[in-house]
Amino acid sequence: MKQFVSNYTGEGAYHGSTNSKPQIDLNPWGVSETEPSTVRRCISKRSQPESFSGLFSRKYEEVSQLQIPSQSDLSVENTNFAWKAFSQAQLESGPITQEVLSAIKPYLQQKKLYCYVDVKTQYFEKGDLAVDSNHFHIDGTVVVRGSYAERLGYPIVHDMRARFNRESIPPQYFAYQSSDHCPTCFVSKPIQLIVPELIPNFNEFDNIVRRNKPHLKNHPAGSIIHYDGQTIHAATPATKDGWRLWIRVIETDKKISASSEISQCYKSVYRQT
Protein backbone atom coordinates (compact mmCIF):
# COMPACT_ATOMS: atom_id res chain seq x y z
CA MET A 1 0.00 0.00 0.00
CA LYS A 2 1.36 3.43 -0.98
CA GLN A 3 1.71 5.86 1.93
CA PHE A 4 0.85 9.49 1.06
CA VAL A 5 3.16 11.99 2.74
CA SER A 6 2.57 15.75 3.18
CA ASN A 7 4.78 18.46 4.63
CA TYR A 8 3.98 19.20 8.26
CA THR A 9 2.97 22.86 8.67
CA GLY A 10 1.28 22.90 12.09
CA GLU A 11 -1.71 24.53 10.38
CA GLY A 12 -4.07 21.77 11.40
CA ALA A 13 -5.39 20.59 8.05
CA TYR A 14 -7.57 18.05 9.83
CA HIS A 15 -8.58 20.03 12.91
CA GLY A 16 -9.92 23.07 11.08
CA SER A 17 -8.30 24.38 7.96
CA THR A 18 -7.66 28.12 7.94
CA ASN A 19 -8.94 28.27 4.35
CA SER A 20 -11.99 30.50 4.11
CA LYS A 21 -15.22 28.86 3.01
CA PRO A 22 -18.61 30.41 2.26
CA GLN A 23 -21.16 30.13 5.05
CA ILE A 24 -24.86 30.25 4.34
CA ASP A 25 -26.16 29.87 7.87
CA LEU A 26 -24.75 30.20 11.38
CA ASN A 27 -26.11 26.75 12.26
CA PRO A 28 -27.00 24.94 9.03
CA TRP A 29 -27.60 21.65 10.93
CA GLY A 30 -30.15 23.30 13.24
CA VAL A 31 -29.22 21.22 16.29
CA SER A 32 -28.02 22.34 19.73
CA GLU A 33 -24.69 20.49 19.36
CA THR A 34 -23.68 22.89 16.57
CA GLU A 35 -25.31 26.11 17.83
CA PRO A 36 -22.61 28.86 17.87
CA SER A 37 -24.23 30.72 20.76
CA THR A 38 -21.23 32.95 21.52
CA VAL A 39 -20.78 33.96 17.88
CA ARG A 40 -24.50 34.73 17.68
CA ARG A 41 -24.31 36.85 20.87
CA CYS A 42 -21.23 38.76 19.70
CA ILE A 43 -22.81 39.56 16.33
CA SER A 44 -26.34 40.36 17.50
CA LYS A 45 -25.30 42.41 20.55
CA ARG A 46 -22.10 43.74 18.99
CA SER A 47 -20.32 42.54 22.15
CA GLN A 48 -16.70 41.48 22.38
CA PRO A 49 -15.79 37.85 23.10
CA GLU A 50 -14.49 37.27 26.62
CA SER A 51 -12.77 34.45 28.47
CA PHE A 52 -14.61 31.82 30.47
CA SER A 53 -13.82 29.07 32.96
CA GLY A 54 -14.62 25.59 31.67
CA LEU A 55 -14.14 22.11 33.14
CA PHE A 56 -12.49 20.15 30.34
CA SER A 57 -11.68 16.46 29.93
CA ARG A 58 -14.45 15.15 32.12
CA LYS A 59 -14.70 12.04 29.93
CA TYR A 60 -11.68 9.77 29.39
CA GLU A 61 -12.34 6.08 29.87
CA GLU A 62 -10.45 3.01 28.68
CA VAL A 63 -13.36 0.67 27.97
CA SER A 64 -11.69 -2.37 26.38
CA GLN A 65 -8.24 -3.84 25.72
CA LEU A 66 -7.81 -5.95 22.59
CA GLN A 67 -4.88 -8.07 21.47
CA ILE A 68 -2.26 -5.91 19.74
CA PRO A 69 -2.05 -6.88 16.03
CA SER A 70 1.26 -7.74 14.38
CA GLN A 71 2.99 -5.29 12.06
CA SER A 72 2.59 -7.77 9.18
CA ASP A 73 -1.20 -7.99 9.76
CA LEU A 74 -1.41 -4.18 9.91
CA SER A 75 0.55 -3.85 6.66
CA VAL A 76 -2.25 -5.63 4.73
CA GLU A 77 -5.26 -4.13 6.60
CA ASN A 78 -5.48 -1.39 3.94
CA THR A 79 -8.57 0.34 5.36
CA ASN A 80 -8.86 4.13 4.98
CA PHE A 81 -12.02 6.20 5.00
CA ALA A 82 -13.65 9.13 6.75
CA TRP A 83 -17.19 9.80 7.97
CA LYS A 84 -18.65 6.50 6.82
CA ALA A 85 -21.92 5.35 8.41
CA PHE A 86 -21.24 2.65 11.04
CA SER A 87 -23.16 -0.13 9.25
CA GLN A 88 -21.45 0.66 5.94
CA ALA A 89 -18.05 0.84 7.65
CA GLN A 90 -18.51 -2.69 8.97
CA LEU A 91 -19.05 -3.92 5.40
CA GLU A 92 -16.04 -2.12 3.91
CA SER A 93 -13.37 -2.74 6.55
CA GLY A 94 -10.45 -5.11 6.83
CA PRO A 95 -10.51 -7.90 9.44
CA ILE A 96 -8.84 -5.98 12.29
CA THR A 97 -11.10 -2.96 11.81
CA GLN A 98 -14.17 -5.20 11.74
CA GLU A 99 -13.11 -6.78 15.01
CA VAL A 100 -12.60 -3.37 16.63
CA LEU A 101 -15.97 -2.07 15.41
CA SER A 102 -17.68 -5.16 16.84
CA ALA A 103 -15.95 -4.49 20.15
CA ILE A 104 -17.05 -0.84 20.16
CA LYS A 105 -20.68 -1.50 19.19
CA PRO A 106 -21.96 -2.52 22.67
CA TYR A 107 -20.59 0.74 24.14
CA LEU A 108 -22.35 3.10 21.72
CA GLN A 109 -24.50 5.64 23.57
CA GLN A 110 -27.18 5.84 20.82
CA LYS A 111 -28.30 9.32 21.92
CA LYS A 112 -27.29 11.10 18.72
CA LEU A 113 -28.73 11.22 15.22
CA TYR A 114 -25.69 9.84 13.37
CA CYS A 115 -22.86 7.39 13.95
CA TYR A 116 -19.81 7.64 11.71
CA VAL A 117 -16.49 5.84 11.46
CA ASP A 118 -13.05 7.17 10.51
CA VAL A 119 -10.22 4.71 9.80
CA LYS A 120 -6.57 5.23 8.85
CA THR A 121 -3.97 2.55 8.23
CA GLN A 122 -0.71 4.49 8.08
CA TYR A 123 2.98 3.79 7.86
CA PHE A 124 4.96 6.26 9.95
CA GLU A 125 8.62 7.04 9.73
CA LYS A 126 10.14 8.28 12.97
CA GLY A 127 8.99 11.88 13.57
CA ASP A 128 5.88 11.70 11.33
CA LEU A 129 2.54 12.91 12.64
CA ALA A 130 -0.91 11.53 11.81
CA VAL A 131 -2.38 15.03 11.45
CA ASP A 132 -0.98 18.43 10.50
CA SER A 133 -0.93 19.78 14.03
CA ASN A 134 0.28 18.63 17.43
CA HIS A 135 -1.65 21.23 19.39
CA PHE A 136 -3.87 20.25 22.27
CA HIS A 137 -7.45 20.58 21.06
CA ILE A 138 -10.95 19.17 21.39
CA ASP A 139 -12.75 17.31 18.60
CA GLY A 140 -15.92 18.42 16.88
CA THR A 141 -15.76 22.06 17.89
CA VAL A 142 -18.63 24.39 17.05
CA VAL A 143 -17.10 26.10 14.01
CA VAL A 144 -18.19 29.17 12.06
CA ARG A 145 -16.58 30.10 8.74
CA GLY A 146 -17.17 32.63 5.99
CA SER A 147 -18.79 36.03 6.40
CA TYR A 148 -19.92 35.57 10.02
CA ALA A 149 -16.39 34.65 11.11
CA GLU A 150 -14.93 37.48 9.05
CA ARG A 151 -17.15 39.95 10.92
CA LEU A 152 -15.27 38.84 14.04
CA GLY A 153 -11.94 39.27 12.27
CA TYR A 154 -11.06 35.69 11.36
CA PRO A 155 -11.53 33.27 8.44
CA ILE A 156 -12.64 30.58 10.90
CA VAL A 157 -13.81 30.74 14.51
CA HIS A 158 -14.09 27.90 17.03
CA ASP A 159 -16.86 28.74 19.53
CA MET A 160 -15.33 27.13 22.62
CA ARG A 161 -17.96 28.33 25.06
CA ALA A 162 -20.78 26.88 22.95
CA ARG A 163 -19.49 23.39 23.80
CA PHE A 164 -20.45 24.15 27.44
CA ASN A 165 -24.06 25.18 26.77
CA ARG A 166 -26.36 23.23 29.03
CA GLU A 167 -28.60 22.19 26.13
CA SER A 168 -25.65 20.91 24.10
CA ILE A 169 -24.64 17.28 24.69
CA PRO A 170 -21.12 17.02 23.22
CA PRO A 171 -20.43 14.54 20.43
CA GLN A 172 -19.26 11.16 21.74
CA TYR A 173 -16.11 9.39 20.51
CA PHE A 174 -14.68 5.88 20.71
CA ALA A 175 -11.08 5.62 19.55
CA TYR A 176 -8.77 2.68 18.96
CA GLN A 177 -5.12 2.64 17.99
CA SER A 178 -3.04 -0.44 17.32
CA SER A 179 0.58 0.40 18.11
CA ASP A 180 2.90 1.85 20.72
CA HIS A 181 5.00 4.24 18.61
CA CYS A 182 2.63 7.18 17.93
CA PRO A 183 -0.19 7.37 20.47
CA THR A 184 -2.57 10.28 20.87
CA CYS A 185 -1.83 12.03 24.17
CA PHE A 186 -4.96 12.69 26.27
CA VAL A 187 -5.62 14.99 29.20
CA SER A 188 -7.06 12.11 31.18
CA LYS A 189 -8.35 13.88 34.30
CA PRO A 190 -10.73 16.85 34.56
CA ILE A 191 -9.06 20.22 34.44
CA GLN A 192 -10.55 23.69 34.95
CA LEU A 193 -9.20 26.15 32.40
CA ILE A 194 -9.81 29.81 31.68
CA VAL A 195 -9.86 30.11 27.90
CA PRO A 196 -11.14 32.58 25.29
CA GLU A 197 -14.75 32.08 24.23
CA LEU A 198 -13.75 32.29 20.56
CA ILE A 199 -10.47 31.15 19.02
CA PRO A 200 -9.24 31.23 15.40
CA ASN A 201 -6.96 28.20 15.95
CA PHE A 202 -5.58 26.10 18.80
CA ASN A 203 -2.25 27.92 19.29
CA GLU A 204 -3.27 29.90 22.39
CA PHE A 205 -5.45 27.07 23.71
CA ASP A 206 -2.46 24.72 23.47
CA ASN A 207 -0.33 27.19 25.46
CA ILE A 208 -3.00 27.46 28.16
CA VAL A 209 -3.29 23.67 28.46
CA ARG A 210 0.49 23.20 28.75
CA ARG A 211 0.85 26.03 31.31
CA ASN A 212 -1.71 24.32 33.55
CA LYS A 213 0.33 21.08 33.60
CA PRO A 214 -2.55 18.63 33.06
CA HIS A 215 -2.52 14.91 33.88
CA LEU A 216 -1.53 13.24 30.60
CA LYS A 217 -2.03 9.68 29.38
CA ASN A 218 -1.01 8.16 26.07
CA HIS A 219 -3.69 6.09 24.35
CA PRO A 220 -2.56 2.52 25.11
CA ALA A 221 -1.83 0.26 22.13
CA GLY A 222 -4.73 -2.06 21.35
CA SER A 223 -7.22 -0.31 23.61
CA ILE A 224 -10.58 1.34 22.97
CA ILE A 225 -11.22 4.58 24.78
CA HIS A 226 -14.37 6.65 25.20
CA TYR A 227 -14.10 10.43 25.23
CA ASP A 228 -16.27 13.36 24.20
CA GLY A 229 -16.21 16.82 22.67
CA GLN A 230 -14.78 18.38 25.83
CA THR A 231 -11.80 16.01 26.10
CA ILE A 232 -8.43 17.61 25.36
CA HIS A 233 -5.84 15.67 23.38
CA ALA A 234 -2.94 16.05 20.93
CA ALA A 235 -1.11 14.03 18.32
CA THR A 236 2.44 12.93 19.10
CA PRO A 237 5.27 12.34 16.59
CA ALA A 238 6.13 8.70 15.86
CA THR A 239 9.03 7.48 17.97
CA LYS A 240 10.04 4.86 15.35
CA ASP A 241 9.03 3.52 11.93
CA GLY A 242 6.00 1.26 11.64
CA TRP A 243 2.35 0.69 10.84
CA ARG A 244 -0.54 2.01 12.88
CA LEU A 245 -4.27 1.42 12.53
CA TRP A 246 -6.39 4.21 14.02
CA ILE A 247 -10.16 4.04 14.28
CA ARG A 248 -12.60 6.61 15.60
CA VAL A 249 -16.35 6.16 15.97
CA ILE A 250 -18.30 9.41 16.29
CA GLU A 251 -21.83 9.84 17.62
CA THR A 252 -23.06 13.27 16.60
CA ASP A 253 -26.16 15.26 15.65
CA LYS A 254 -24.24 16.83 12.77
CA LYS A 255 -24.83 15.28 9.33
CA ILE A 256 -21.45 14.98 7.64
CA SER A 257 -20.22 13.74 4.29
CA ALA A 258 -16.48 13.59 3.70
CA SER A 259 -15.03 15.94 1.09
CA SER A 260 -12.15 14.80 -1.12
CA GLU A 261 -9.96 17.27 0.87
CA ILE A 262 -10.73 15.46 4.12
CA SER A 263 -10.20 12.03 2.53
CA GLN A 264 -6.79 13.12 1.26
CA CYS A 265 -5.87 14.39 4.75
CA TYR A 266 -6.73 10.97 6.13
CA LYS A 267 -4.49 9.13 3.70
CA SER A 268 -1.45 11.28 4.52
CA VAL A 269 1.13 11.30 7.24
CA TYR A 270 2.75 14.65 7.98
CA ARG A 271 6.53 14.90 7.88
CA GLN A 272 8.52 17.67 9.56
CA THR A 273 11.21 18.98 7.24
Residues that bind Fe ion (CB under 5 A): 139
CB of 233 to Fe ion, least distance (A): 6
> Which among 249, 263, 9, 273 has a CA at the least distance from the CA of 134?
9
CB of 81 to Fe ion, least distance (A): 17
* Distance set, CA 221 to CA 64, 114, 188, 263 (Å): 11, 27, 16, 24
For residues 260 and 264, give the distance between their C-alpha atoms in angstroms, rounded to a whole number.
6
- What values do phi and psi take at 164, rounded to 5? -100, 5
CB of 48 to Fe ion, least distance (A): 29
Of residues 39 and 130, the one with the C-beta less far from Fe ion: 130
Of residues 130 and 198, the one with the C-beta less far from Fe ion: 130
Of residues 132 and 197, the one with the C-beta less far from Fe ion: 132
Of residues 12 and 242, the one with the C-beta less far from Fe ion: 12
Compute the C-alpha angle 169/105/136, nearest 5°.
50
* Distance set, CA 58 to CA 104, 142, 154, 162 (Å): 20, 18, 29, 16
CB of 16 to Fe ion, least distance (A): 10
For residues 30 and 120, give the distance between their C-alpha atoms in angstroms, rounded to a whole number.
30
CB of 137 to Fe ion, least distance (A): 6
Of residues 49 and 141, the one with the C-beta less far from Fe ion: 141
